[in-house]
A and B are shown apart, each in its own frame.
Chain A
Amino acid sequence: MMASSYSAKEEDGHHSGSAGLGGAAVQTRKPDNTAFKQQRLPAWQPILTAGTVLPAFFIIGLIFIPIGIGLYVTSNNIKEFEIDYTGTEMSSPCFNCSQSFSWNSTTPCRCVLFFSLDQPFESNVFMYYGLSNFYQNHRRYVKSRDDSQLNGDLRSLKEPSKECEPYRTNENKPIAPCGAIANSMFNDTLDLFYIDPNGTKTQILLIKKGIAWWTDKHVKFRNPGGSNPNLTAAFIETAKPVNWHKPVYELDIDSENNGFINEDFIVWMRTAALPTFRKLYRVIQKKNNMTPTLPKGSYSLEVTYNYPVRSFEGRKRMILSTISWMGGKNPFLGIAYITVGSICFFLGVVLLFIHHKYGNRNNSSDVPS
């Protein structure tokens, strides 16, 4: 790819021997004649010229454009469905729930949204909830957690980090899990039903395992008291986060998914990069090769509306998406690859043109000395 000249300016070979013997006896101030000291280390001296870079441009173009097309097609083939259930508009089924929200209400507010899928979702379907204008990346919010408490450290359980303020203690009891992130955990419940053409509703099985990073679930997050099955005892003398309905040891009945290692909790604790984000909620596993995971047709989404977003003008969405090897739907990468590939190719053509013009005018201006 590069025109290069390998200049081997070697030191004289006799030096090391003579210095070793004579150096001790006769101390001269003559500088050592080594390649390093004389700045004569053998060196590769690459020279980028039009002649060497041109093929590179073409090669990059030729590689990137197919990759880009591949990425673009892959992204396009991903099925994605998105529905907003914030309920700020009068027409929305969740309007009432969003309007009448109160922290103290004991009976959960429910609303049902109907939608239909135009195309079947063939492979595994991933269900996300999306929030907008929710600053999970605000500094005060990001640092408001105690990782050693979440790692099962007993001392931190009793004495949470100062970073958790003002969600550190409640009624003189340490909050577990402490901090703003944990306190604001997303607690809407989303249920999905398939409505047969004949009108029967069947609930779709939503799997809540495998939504968090494996290392988070198994190493970073640990319940206090290790594998002790009695979580209630482990969390004794602690308070639940202020905005939670249930304490942390009642998040799930499954002991493998309860307490700090509840996957919904772990997912929430991984703070999002941008104020508009989505988080994995459930997975819908493909049953067999014959039927699509989500066939074409009507569906209903039943929401238990617990999470207020109106106060900060947030939005809530439910997203159904299939996944490819590159992740979720995102045309950006494909377009970027196609664009860069085309630019490189185009530049290659332009450079070739210039190169030829120059090359003809003053012969071999290109030949390195």
Chain B
Amino acid sequence: SFSRTIYVGHRPCPDTEAFIPSKFCDNRIVSSKYTVWNFLPKNLFEQFRRIANFYFLIIFLVQVIVDTPTSPVTSGLPLFFVITVTAIKQGYEDWLRHKADKEVNKYPVTVLEDGRSVKKESEKIKVGDVVEVVEDETFPCDLILLQSSREDGTCFVTTASLDGESNHKTHYTVPDTEKDLQALTATIECEQPQPDLYKHNLPFLSLGPENLLLKGATLKNTKKIYGVAVYTGMETKMALNYQGKSQKRSAVEKSINAFLLVYLCILISKAVVCTTLKYVWQSKEGQDEPWYNQKTQKEKDSNMYLKMFTDFLSFMVLFNFIIPVSMYVTVEMQKFLGSFFITWDKDFFDPEIQEGALVNTSDLNEELGQVEYVFTDKTGTLTQNNMEFIECCIDGFQYRYRDTQSELDGFTVTDGPVNKLQQKKEELFLRALCLCHTVQVKEAGSEVLADQVDGIDGLLLQPEEERGFIASSPDEIALVKGAMKYGFTFLGLESKSMKIKNRQNDIEEYKLLHVLNFDPVRRRMSVIVQTTSGETLLFCKGADSSIFPRVRPEEVDRIRMHVERNATEGYRTLCVAYKQLSAEEYAMADTGLREARLALQDREEKLMAMYNQVEMGMSLIGATAVEDRLQEEAAETMEALQGAGMKVWVLTGDKMETAKSTCYACRLFQRGTELLELTVRTLEDERLKRDEKLHELLQEYHRKAVQDAPPVKAGVTRSWSTANQDYGFIIDGATLSLVMNPPRDADASQYKSLFLQICQNCTAVLCCRMAPLQKAQIVKMVKNSKGSPITLSIGDGANDVSMILEAHVGIGIKGKEGRQAVRNSDYAVPKLKHLKKLLLAHGHLYYVRIAHLVQYFFYKNLCFILPQFLYQFFCGYSQQPLYDAAYLTMYNICFTSMPILAYSLLEQHTSIEILLDNAALYREIANNAMLRWHPFLYWTVLGIFQGLMFFFGVRFLFSNPALQDNGQVFGNWSYGTIVFTVLVFTVTLKLALDTRHWTWINHFVIWGSLAFYVFFSFFWGGIIWPFLKQQRLYFVFANMLSSVSAWLVIIILILLSLLPEILLVVLRKPRGPHSRQVYFSLPFPLLSLNSSFLPYPSYFLIFSLIYILFCSSFILHHVLTRCDVTQSQPITRYLKLYSYVKQWLVSLLVAGLH
């Protein structure tokens, strides 16, 4: 059914046939996901839906089912750890939700039952109950207001906790209801619940949204109300709106997945190679089953192909550590813990609102370091949204308020005479300002703390006025305040009548008939009032573009000049118009509006049509200019962002001139910037139609900005040279929609790409006159353009929500336009200026940290598993693990996890101050520089090199396993332990080499985990563990340490493995003009701006060195053999040595090819 029937007080209506108590849900709010009973299965199911977890589960199951080399514990334990940690985290979060739910559900409420007030728990409220709510309480469910303690049947409500709007909204009781609630029998029919917070269709009994009180809103200024519950529990608007935002994934995660795929390929190819070679090897007589190593009967019986398959699986299991479970945990932990540094940063703390930064998601920390496009809102973001009335223009004459002059009312005409007619117009204009708004006067009784509510203009709380205004938009307050300065004071709204005090200190009273609300599409609002003399007047104020077509054209010209001049000065302008309504006209409008408001379907459209109809044929009175001051350090911030190579786009609903002047003020446009305009005005042309002109202009701009621009060097796409001509691009909403949806469909893609190319070559782009959806459209277009650049949207108002949600990173400003932007953002900061540190310092560091973390994890697992792979060539491809199970398990969990976690939380390869002072450093990491294939290849090659070193170094040592001074020999577990020791030390020291910022934590964790490894190895090998089947490592480590040879080989292998790294660090040192100003080095080689030529020479140098070594020894060999000087003693010595070296190298090569 489409509607629900509610019986007020559960009393059936006499005229309905039968009382059927319908089933509604109770008033329990359940925001939690789990219960005690379903937590385990549900949580496990959800966790294993992740690809990585599922993969590890499969590996674990394979280990359990198939006879595999490593025990299931080795992969089961890490997986169990991961799952448990995640489950605990989610369980804790859910417990918090349970607690919050309980608090809400157990909250005591008063319900009227059979004439008595009964205290009940909130969750027990049923649909149809009559609920009593007193002042400052929140409504326990969605209520229809039946009775209010106020005489006029109204109550005031703030919805601050719902949408952040702190202004008091007036709600009305249901008209013509019986005063005695006990006797009231009524049914309410309303539609089924729907989530839109601002749309309520309650069509029956002529109920409108003004009768509905939403759960979560707070009662203000009213002692007590009674209401009947219509929607309860999970069906309330608040609960329906409670839903998670869609998940955003960062570019780093995409890189991880790409690398994962590479490693999966490596893994599978390793397993395939080993399986194939195994069967080739076994085909030789006597190899598969020598007399000393017979198979069991079961193995002999098993099917050959099945055997091959299980062998393949076994190899997979043996090498599966190459894809580390722990990486996911570490990355999650790094993100979660790392995000605290943003909330903790005291630079983000704003003393005015007593708040710091807010992190809504920690998934995108590193994305902050990758931003290429910044989309910013203008009002409230670039500007303070702290409005001040500057001047007005009445009937073509300019008025400017001057404090210093003591002329009449301080109101001076600056460019025209004053006469009687003028006086009248003036007063009409000021009355219009006083009446046409939704401002409320703060009552003296209700204490509202200035810091709690963001709609209050602090300036208005001046002592001599004793009056505060509350409004949803600061413009309105500025206008009312402006009117007050000129002698017309708005006193307040009481029982639908507005009182104003005029210049003669007389109180004028107007009956408020209708408010035609403001909305961003219409861009204007109107009120219809009735004077005491019975005249009906409509006052309308709005943007010039929306007013001018609705007034008489001859009036426009006089005002337009002023409006445009004011706009170029950066002021916000509004035009004010009025219209006198005749009785018939009003009657028509009245019925029309009422009907539209009660419409069951398409209410919005009908209302809009009605508004448009009413707001016709007005006459223009004047215009206002309100100044919106720039945010603190707005210009510096914008400059820094541009310096960091980001392209800043301003998306605003404001008019072009105002927005342009703001752009100039923010230094987004500079004096030398050539502006390319694509607006309705530039499209006006006598010769051509609009779309033809558009085509022409697009072509022209494209030629200018793209084709004629000097070719930009590849790799340095963000040129920042001052020699080039800078371009700025301006487009307005109407033209944009023409570009997006041209009359001819064929042009669509062409226009779009032309437009994008132009924009990409401009330093700044301004899009004005944008509807909220258009903002998101632009963000989406750039996001999906070639190279899929990372976008960031920053805004403070509800109209920015769509673009905040659309962009890769959404930033909310804790501004004055409510909390909606903050609620929907990924990060929220109090001020625009904080963006600079957030991106340049935090973003940069997070990116470097996590990129290094990811690369390091892959690297360390590659050189962990490579020796194990190589060992297969020496053990008959039998899947014999090289390392003990304990080492296999602990490597990623204990021995090498903490240093990298500490690194990824604390590393500052460049200090924060330098990062902030040199915005250009941000370009170093642009385009995911540290996670591209080039650095990935470097790390992989490093991992392979070190893995080869570890394995073959020990292999050559073990050509004679008698390594102790008592002639005793080492076995295979000693072999593995030596390799593993070298591995743990090398991998940890490699990180130590990369660490540029050694705090005590780094020291503690790096040296501590090495010490822990040694301690653990002693401990693990020191006891016969009763629960182990095999005491493989019993005293292996201690015996290893008693061998000098083992020590020597460990030392030299560590050094040799790190040698190329040390060499690279030395050679990579940036040289050139910049190196002295900014000394920094990233922990890996990359193409950077001021050392772009360096990595290649350094590679070249190393390779040439090795080449020279080879060549010289080759030549020496020839010379020595030719000359036949082997007689003399020293040379024979040398030759012997040389032949050893040659033998070594050859056998290394052979072994490598083996």
Contact = CB atoms under 8 A, between A and B. Distances in A.
Interface in A249-305: 267, 270-275, 277-280, 283
Given A32-B344, A72-B1137, A350-B1105, A283 B1071 contact: no
A120 to B, nearest CB: 18
Interface stretch (A17-25, A132-140, A194-202): A132-140
A53 B958 CA distance: 32
A18 B392 CA distance: 51
A135 B1137 contact: no
| Residue among B1035, B1066, B1141 with max Cβ neighbours from chain A (10 Å) | B1066
A222 to B, nearest CB: 10
B908 A43 contact: yes
B419 interface: no
Contacts of A135: 290, 293, 875-876, 878
Contact of A43 (B343, B959, B999, B1035): B999
Contacts of B958: 273-274
B1007 to A, nearest CB: 13
Interface residues of B, number: 101
Contacts of A47: 996, 1079, 1081
Interface of B: 69, 286-287, 290-297, 340-341, 343-346, 348-349, 354-356, 874-876, 878-881, 906, 908, 911-912, 953, 955-975, 993, 996-1002, 1024, 1028-1031, 1034-1035, 1038-1039, 1043-1045, 1048-1049, 1052, 1055-1056, 1059, 1062-1063, 1065-1066, 1069, 1071-1072, 1075-1079, 1081, 1101, 1105, 1109, 1137, 1140-1141, 1144
Given A328-B962, A332-B959, 12 more contacts: A39-B906, A45-B996, A49-B1069, A53-B1065, A147-B1030, A184-B293, A327-B962, A327-B964, A327-B1045, A329-B960, A339-B1141, A347-B1105
A148 B1144 CA distance: 42
Given A7-B911, A29-B355, A275-B874, A166 B967 contact: no
Contacts of A271: 971-973
Contacts of B1044: 325-327
Nearest to A359: B1071
B960 A37 contact: no
7 contacts: A50-B1069, A211-B967, A215-B1039, A312-B287, A333-B1049, A335-B1140, A346-B1105
A346 B1043 CA distance: 30
A278 B343 CA distance: 63
| Residue among B290, B1034, B1065, B1105 with max Cβ neighbours from chain A (10 Å) | B290
Contacts of A64: 1052
Given A38-B346, A332-B956, A166 B297 contact: yes
Contacts of A50: 1066, 1069
Given A313-B286, A332-B1144, A365 B293 contact: no
A270 B969 contact: yes
A71 B963 CA distance: 13
Nearest to B880: A139
Contacts, number: 289
A362 B1075 CA distance: 10
B888 to A, nearest CB: 14
B1064 to A, nearest CB: 10
A212 B968 contact: yes
Given A71-B1048, A330-B959, A41 B1105 contact: no
Given A163-B1029, A166-B295, A335 B1144 contact: yes
Contact of B1030 (A143, A167, A215): A143
Contact of A60 (B345, B356, B1055): B1055
A212 B968 CA distance: 7
Contacts of A184: 291-293
A327 B1066 contact: no
B69 A139 contact: yes
Nearest to A44: B998
Contact of A369 (B964, B973, B1030, B1079): B1079
Contacts of B1043: 327
Contacts of B975: 273-274
B1044 to A, nearest CB: 5
B1029 A161 contact: yes
A142 interface: yes
Nearest to A80: B960
| Residue among A183, A213, A339 with max Cβ neighbours from chain B (10 Å) | A213
Contacts of B294: 166-167, 180
Contact of B963 (A48, A166, A327): A327
Contacts of B1062: 48, 53, 56
Contacts of B1065: 48, 53
A278 B972 contact: no
Interface in A322-351: 323-333, 335-340, 343-344, 346-347, 350-351
A126 interface: yes
B335 to A, nearest CB: 16
Contacts of A220: 1024, 1031, 1034-1035
Contacts of A139: 69, 875, 878-881
- Closest 3 A/B residue pairs (Cβ): A184-B292, A328-B962, A273-B975
B963 A328 contact: yes
Interface in A31-61: 31-33, 37-39, 41-50, 53, 56, 60
Contacts of B354: 28-30
A351 B521 CA distance: 69
B429 to A, nearest CB: 44
A360 interface: no
Contacts of B1081: 47
Contacts of A137: 874-876, 878, 880, 972
Nearest to B1065: A48
B1132 to A, nearest CB: 13
B880 A41 contact: no
